[in-house]
Amino acid sequence: MPTNQISFRTSQSFALGHPQIGPQATIVATATAQRDLMLGRYLVEEGGANPFLGGQLTAAAVNGASILTSNQPMSLWGLGANAVNAGNNFIGVPLINNGTFVTTIQLDAPAPFNTANGVVLCDPWDSSYGAVPPPDAMGSGSLSWGFGLGRVMNNAGGGAPFQLIATCIRDTVLGGFFIGSRDSGTRQVNTTAGILINSITINNTEMLANTLNATVVASAFQALAQDTDMKNLAAFVPQNSNVIVSGVNIGGASDIEAHFFCNALGT
């Protein structure tokens, strides 16, 4: 069911949250639905005694079924409420009444640590589709929301190369691309200043259209980039394939991390 195509909204179907947890280094949050839902956009807010430092989403599951499709975590920076993700960040998996959406976030903030609170924007399940199917009846292609690329810490900058590498754990379709960075010294998020991408490959097949000596500015894919319609890669990735994002950092020492949102198979 497409998001936000309902003619009216019934009770308890607008947004799904979880009890506040923390402050601590690892946040495991469980949100429990009070009616049948279609899960939409997932957003996270970090707060606490430390400034916003970010972290990694290491797990996300709908009623026990993972909706992550790589062996690397996703970036918290690309999941913030101010991130311009539009329809790219859309879970698109139904959740039955009393079902759970469970996430695990590893925060970077040191003691006394921070908190991280998530919310899923929802639609009510359309009963004309019948009963809500369990995750194992939907097929793995429907359980594709995020493809993490992990992170590179303390890249020296000044033209230093970097690579982000992840392996696909089941067939998926890569959608919207996000990349972000922060100053390795101050640990303050600096969007993507000085980060240049020179290659994005899937199983050694190049996705960029430029010549080998050219680069693409990573700022086109950072959290606040306004163009959302054409950042959807829409490329099929078979199970066990490697996805590699390579580039150079002409700025200062930086931590660099990225992820893709996924499209449902067949779209």
Could you tell me the CATH number of the domain that includes residue 169? 2.60.120
Tell whether 121 and 233 lie within a shared domain: no
- Please give the structure tokens belonging to residue 73: 């975590």
Tell whether 22 and 133 lie within a shared domain: yes
Of 6 and 96, more confident: 96
Task: Provide the domain count of the chain.
Answer: 2
The answer to whether residues 22 and 113 touch, using CB atoms and an 8 Å cutoff, is: yes
Tell whether 114 and 137 lie within a shared domain: yes
The Cβ-side half-sphere exposure at 173, using a 13 Å CA radius, reads 13
* 33 inside domain: yes
56 has a pLDDT exceeding 60 = yes
In which band, very low, low, confident or very high, does the pLDDT at 112 lie, cut at 50, 70 and 90?
A: confident
Tell whether 178 and 258 lie within a shared domain: yes
The answer to whether residues 246 and 163 touch, using CB atoms and an 8 Å cutoff, is: yes
Mean pLDDT, range 224-251, rounded to an integer: 88
Name, of 178-182, 212-216, 243-247, the range with top average pLDDT: 243-247
Tell whether 110 and 199 lie within a shared domain: no
pLDDT value of position 1: 45
242 has a pLDDT exceeding 90 = yes
Sign of CA dihedral 174, 244, 183, 217: negative
Domain span holding position 219: 147-263
Using one digit for the tens of pLDDT, what is the confidence trace for 77-90?
A: 899 877 766 568 99
Of 187 and 73, more confident: 73
220 has a pLDDT exceeding 60 = yes
Tell whether 216 and 107 lie within a shared domain: no
With residues binned 3-state (H G I as helix, E B as strand, rest as coil), the percentages for the chain, rounded to 5, are: 5, 45, 45
- Please give the structure tokens belonging to residue 163: 């690579």
pTM for this model (two decimals) = 0.91
Give whole-number Cα distances, 162 to 27, 79, 258, in Å: 29, 23, 12
In which band, very low, low, confident or very high, does the pLDDT at 55 lie, cut at 50, 70 and 90?
A: very high
